[in-house]
Structure 1
Amino acid sequence: MKLSRFGGILSAFTATMALGLSGAGAATAATPQARATGYVALGDSYSAGVGAGSYDSASGSCKRSTKAYPALWAAANSVSSFTFSACSGARTGDVLSKQLGALNSSTGLVSITVGGNDAGFADTMKVCATDTESACLTRVAQARTYIQGTLPGKLDQVYNAISGKAAAARVVVLGYPHIYKLGGTCIGLSEKVRTAINAAADDINTVTAKRAADHGFAFGDVNTTFAGHELCSGSPWLHSITLPVDESYHPTAAGQSGGYLPVLRSAA
């Protein structure tokens, strides 16, 4: 009698648990946490699309282009939201103070290029284009010293802030392409100067890739796609000195779609 009674109680308990699991468990399975699919594009002129044309008039001096890689990627993918915050001239401090407002728990993807303006890219190219070879090499050396000594800490501040605001996001940090093809003839700048400028780009990419990896972010090397499309290549995806002058040494529309977009697509 006692065993029979215990068996009945156990059967009733098992049935109750089964009902409870089928109800609560099914409810949980039916309402999973929505996957974060918002996309936020941060960074400087290389992300804004300066040089690609077709600028959004509402973006003003930030010069965000509809042909920039973030806009192209967002248009081709199912994102719940797209915030295009990248801005011409932005430094790491500008990203921290002006571009992070859209990041939140629903952000699934963040892309960014930053660091070139901190290192004085525009000023360096101006000196190299208008001054002596000696002055150019001195300015490049100054930029490389900044990149190796000061920029890592600046990048850490930005990357920490991104992680703090969008913990669920995949973050893709993209680098900068070599400006010049080496070897052969190239009007205007010597091989020595072109080599130094490319070396500075290598420095910033190396530092950026290391800091990105240490934060668990992906790094996209665009030299893989820009190879053969540098200035002096015969098929450049970068502007040389041009008007408007702020578009000089920036990717063309082809550089955005053929150079940057495939790298983001692969890493996202």
Structure 2
Amino acid sequence: MRSRSVLPMFGTVLLLAGSLLLAASPASAAGGRYVALGDSYSSGEGTGDYIGSAGSCDRSNHAYPALWAAAHAPSSFAFVACSGATTTDVINNQLSALNSSTTLVSISVGGNDAGFAGAMQTCVLSGTDACLTAVNNAKSFANSKLPGLLDQVYAGIRNRAPSARVVVLDYPHLYKIGGSCSFGISDTSRSAINGAADTIDSVIAGRAAAAGFSFGDVRPNFTNHEICSSDWWLNSTRIPVHESYHPNSAGHTNGYLPVFAARA
């Protein structure tokens, strides 16, 4: 009689333990060996307080990859995202950080390929007509050439890290249209800039899905926290100039980090 009662109880304990292990395994696997790839929106340019050894890559401990790693303590963390990186830069200079034991990858890339930084400079310095032309050129590139470039990056990630969970993040709207802002750029230009971000983000989402990667859209988190809103999570034109039009520390903590963490 005693053996009959103990055995079912022991079996129940084993089942419960097994279910707990199964529930925990995805998070444990995801956080095991983490590599952060990408451009300035992943390196943390705009947050200040850069890591000295990163040089011109402007990596910051206030960037979402470093914040996530500090909170989750993965067994290894390779932070190789770099300011100004294009898809070619990621392929040539960053993918070597990946290997078959990598379990989690994050990346934002594509904006520099489309010339978004140059378009922003034109919009700020050269007026609305020139802005619209520059933005339309960026959108044209994003629609015609960026898909193939992203496919190459994503294929490279999968080849080097075949078992990794890959989270692809996009870019926020920069401006609150109709918001209170003293900087002299028209709402027409601001709307065009936001529209370019939408075009680039749409391409990124489509190619990430085709690669079987998880896509994280940060735009909802940044709503009402754009430049010219009452609570900016992005830098407007500032000194040093390279920090302009990038998320500040609040943008990484409240904008990017929750989107990434929900998918990691």
Band of TM-score, shorter chain: 0.7 to 0.9
Cα separation, partners in 2 of 1:76 and 1:184, compared to 1, 3 Å: closer
Is there any run of 5+ residues in structure 1 with no aligned partner, and where? 1-33
Q: Deviations over 1:233-268 (max 9, x none)?
A: 021100000011000000001101110000000111
CA contact (8 A) 1:180 1:231 kept: yes
Q: Which of 103, 127, 130 pairs up with 1:132?
A: 127
Describe the superposition over 1:84-139 as per-residue Cα deviations: whole angstroms up to 9, x where unpaired. Answer: 00000000000000001121111110000000100111111110000021111100
Residues 120 and 143, structure 1, Cα contact 8 Å, conserved in 2: yes
Structure 1 residue 244 corresponds to structure 2 residue 244: no
Superposition misfits of 4+ residues, deviation over 3 angstroms:
184-187
Distance in structure 2 (CA, Å) of the matches to 1:162 and 1:184: 40
Shift of 1:80: 1.2
Provide TM-score, normalisation by structure 2. 0.87
Is the aligned partner of 1:154 residue 2:149? Answer: yes
SS of alignment partner, residue 237 of structure 1:
coil
Q: Deviations over 1:9-38 (max 9, x none)?
A: xxxxxxxxxxxxxxxxxxxxxxxxx95710
Larger radius of gyration: 1
Q: Is the contact made by 1:52 and 1:67 (CA closer than 8 Å) also made in structure 2?
A: yes
2:180 and 2:229 in contact (8 A); partners too: no
Q: Secondary structure at the match of 2:188?
A: helix
How far apart are the structure 2 equivalents of 1:190 and 1:110?
A: 38
- Structure 2: state its 5+ residue gaps: 1-27
Matched positions, count? 235
CA-CA distance at 1:185 after TM superposition: 4.4
**Contact 2:122-2:130 within 8 A present in 1 as well:** yes
Secondary structure in 2 matching 1:51: coil
Identical amino acids, percent of aligned pairs: 58
2:250 counterpart residue number: 254
Q: Which of 144, 168, 183 is the matching residue for 2:178?
A: 183
Residue identity in the other structure for 2:227: L
Mapped to 2, the partners of 1:115 and 1:214 lie a distance apart of: 16
Query: Could you state the TM-score of these two structures normalised by the residue count of structure 1?
Result: 0.86
Cα distance between partner residues in 1 of 2:237 and 2:29: 44
Q: Distance in 1 between matches of 2:130 and 2:84?
A: 23
Partner in structure 1 of residue 97 of structure 2: 102
The structural deviation recorded for 1:186 is 3.6
Instruction: Look up the SS of the partner of 2:47 in the other structure.
Output: coil
Work out whether 1:222 is the aligned partner of 2:218.
Answer: yes
How far does residue 78 in structure 1 lie from its aligned partner after superposition?
A: 3.3
Matched, 1:80 2:75: yes
The offset of 1:166, in angstroms, is 0.3
Q: Which amino acid aligns with 1:141?
A: N
